Amino acid sequence: MRLRNILIFALIIGVLSLGLVGCSQKPKAKKSINFGYVQWPGVTVKTHLVKKLADYMGYDTKMIAGTQQVVMKGMETKDIDVFPGVWLPSMKTNLKPYQDKGVIELVKPNLKDCLYITAVNKEAWEAGVKTFEDLKKHAAKFDKKIYGIEPGNDGNKIVKNKIIPEYNLNGWELVPSSTGGMLSSVKSRLQKGKWVAFNAWKPHYMNVMFDIKYLEDPKNVWPDGGKSTVYTAIRNGYSKEDPNFYKFLQNFELKVETQNRLIYEYKKGGEDEEGRNPEEVVEEWIANNLDTVEKWVKDVKALNGEEAIKAISENAKK
């Protein structure tokens, strides 16, 4: 009888132990990454590219759109983890307060040899408008307007607070809008045979849509002559929380030609015409460029423990 009781007790302990082990071995929750982006075609399609690679590695991901200020504030509040679209020096003014507080860290450049400065249509350039100084002589042709993108953008501030006063463009105004709104204004003026001055940049499909020329800045008013570099940024603490994905961000870099192609595929026909779904564009690009992706994910693991390139390759073929 005593032996029987001992066996029953042992059996109960064993069952309880199995239950406890089962509880302790519940699968870990999937890691999540929130990507911030401004709705410029280049930043949009590049963010989709990084997000899709993270998806293939097993992460739960989300894209959050906003102005520069909104995205940076989201990084401060830790609602956004990664922002792969920091254009410098254009965003320097908006970025500096967050860097000073130590809430945003730059990882590395992901796009070099970029340009962001005012441009004019080819006809205006051929007629002699080759520098900011030349705008004044032909003010009537431009209706004394320079078109820009969203309010708060540093390029807008440079034109309004530095270019206009330094080059004595009395009566000129900076007209802010969205990227799409600005390009619609450019297209409309050109269709009417009018000249146009607007803040342009490359890489961007606007350089294919329109025959444009970038203005020279003889007084060196525009920081670094408009030459720009795009950086990947992370919120403070993210590199320690996920050193694995951080390693990928340290390796991630696009060539200007590659981003031009991605933007073109995404926005064929322009802002006001139907293009392609950016997710489809990057899925296709990844499947056709696994050799490049492999360099980016060297020593990086998927969340299931296998090599990242293996998980990405398998998902890209589906």
Amino acid sitting at position 236: N
Q: Which domain holds residue 139?
A: 115-226
* Residue 22 reports pLDDT greater than 80: no
Residues 90 and 148 in one domain: no
Residues 235 and 201 in one domain: no
Tell me, yes or no, whether 1 lies in a domain. Answer: no
Which of 50-64, 143-157, 253-267 is predicted least confidently?
253-267
Residues 64 and 123 in one domain: no
The token pair at 93 is 């003014």
* Residue 54 reports pLDDT greater than 90: yes
CATH code of the domain in which 178 resides: 3.40.190.100
* Residue 312 reports pLDDT greater than 70: yes
**pTM for the full predicted model:** 0.73
CATH code of the domain in which 100 resides: 3.40.190.10
Residues 142 and 211 in one domain: yes
Q: Quick: pLDDT tens for 253-302.
A: 999 888 888 988 888 754 545 678 999 999 999 999 999 999 999 999 99
Residues 211 and 81 in one domain: no
Residues 210 and 254 in one domain: no
Residues 57 and 144 in one domain: no
Q: Among candidates 62, 71, 5, which has minimal Cα distance to 38?
A: 71
Q: pLDDT > 90: what percent of the chain?
A: 74
Tell me, yes or no, whether 301 lies in a domain. Answer: yes
Residues 162 and 239 in one domain: no
* Residue 1 reports pLDDT greater than 70: no
Q: Quick: pLDDT tens for 181-201.
A: 999 999 999 999 999 999 999
Domains of the chain: total: 2
Which of 63-67, 223-227, 301-305 is predicted least confidently?
223-227
Count the helix, strand and coil residues of the chain and give each as a percent rounded to the nearest 5.
50, 20, 30
Query: Which pLDDT belongs to residue 249?
Result: 98
The Cα–Cα gap between 166 and 221 comes to 8
Query: Which pLDDT belongs to residue 89?
Result: 85
CB under 8 Å to 5, separation ≥6 — which residues? none
What is the rounded average pLDDT for all residues in the chain? 89
